[in-house]
Structure formats: structure tokens, C-alpha cells
Amino acid sequence: MTEEGPITVELALSELRRGFDVRLAELEGRLTLMLQRSELRERQWDAQTRLIDELEARLMIAEREQVTRGQLETRFRHTVALLSLIATAASVVVGLLAALLSR
């Protein structure tokens, strides 16, 4: 009976150690997975931050270079005025040519 006691204690201790090692390995695996996920989230966060910065820069450029309705109306008036001058000049030239040819 004296031999069974130490063997039983040693067996119980080895089972306890094995269980502890298994649980420790599981915890290490979970911690490693959590670290990988954390690093992935950090990379995704950085990518999203860069994208937002790029979009903000593009928006600022677009806002700075946008054409307003007033500017379009002014351009239209200038275009109409220029076309009117061209039409007037063309009619004067045609009138002069008609006068010269009728002589």
C-alpha cells in the first residue's frame, strides 16, 4: 500500500500537469489569435484613415475648383455677347460685299 500511494500521487500530479499544459497551450493559442486579429484591425484602421484623408483632400480640391451657377451664367452671357459681336461683324461684312458687288 505504501507503493500505491506515491504512484497514485505521481499519477495524479502528471495528470494535473498534463491538464495544465493543455489549458496553457489553449490560452497561448487564443492569445496569439487575438493578437493577430488586433494587428489586422489596426492595419484596416490605418487603411481606412488613409482613405478618408485622401477623400477629404479630393473633396477640398473639388470644392476649390467648383463652378458656381453665377459663374456659369456669367460665362453664358459672355458667350452670347461674343456670338452677337461675331454675327454683327459678319452681317457688316456681308453688307459691304453686297454693296461692292452691286456696283
Give yes or no: residues 82 and 42 share one domain. no
Give yes or no: residues 42 and 81 share one domain. no
- Rounded to 10 degrees, the C-alpha dihedral 46/48/49/52 comes to 160
Range(s) of the domain holding residue 56 = 1-66
Give yes or no: residues 52 and 87 share one domain. no
Q: Kindly state the average pLDDT of the residues 13-18.
A: 94
pLDDT value, residue 3: 60
| Per-residue exposure over 6-21, b if at least 16 CB sit within 10 Å of its own CB, e if not | eeeeeeeeeeeeeeee
Give yes or no: residues 59 and 78 share one domain. no
Structure pTM?
A: 0.51
Of the candidates 85, 82, 88, the one whose C-alpha atom is nearest the C-alpha of residue 96 is 88
Give yes or no: residues 53 and 84 share one domain. no
Give yes or no: residues 44 and 78 share one domain. no
Tell me the pLDDT tens digit for each residue of 36-70. 999 999 999 999 999 999 999 999 998 888 888 88
Give yes or no: residues 57 and 99 share one domain. no
